[in-house]
Amino acid sequence: MTTERDERAIHALIEDWTDAICKGDIDGVLANRADDIVMYDVPEPIQEKGIDAYRRTWTLFFEHNEAGPDRFRLSDVQVVAGGDVAYAHGLLTIGGGDAYCRLTLGLRRIGGMWKVAHEHHSIPIKLGR
**Does 49 reside within a domain?**
yes
Q: In angstroms, what CA-CA distances link 55 with 7, 30, 33, 115?
A: 26, 7, 10, 15
Range of the domain at 83: 4-122
Question: Average pLDDT, stretch 3-20?
Answer: 95
The number of distinct structural domains making up the chain is 1
CA-wise closest residue to 61 among 87, 30, 33, 32: 30
pLDDT of residue 1: 47
Residue 71: predicted pLDDT: 86
Query: What is the domain-level CATH number for residue 47?
Result: 3.10.450.50
Assess if residue 129 is contained within a domain.
Answer: no
Of 9, 52, 8, 60, the C-alpha closest to 30 is: 52
Angle at 12 between CA 10 and CA 86, to 5 degrees: 5
60-83 pLDDT, tens digit each: 989 988 888 888 889 999 999 998
Is 27 a domain residue?
Answer: yes
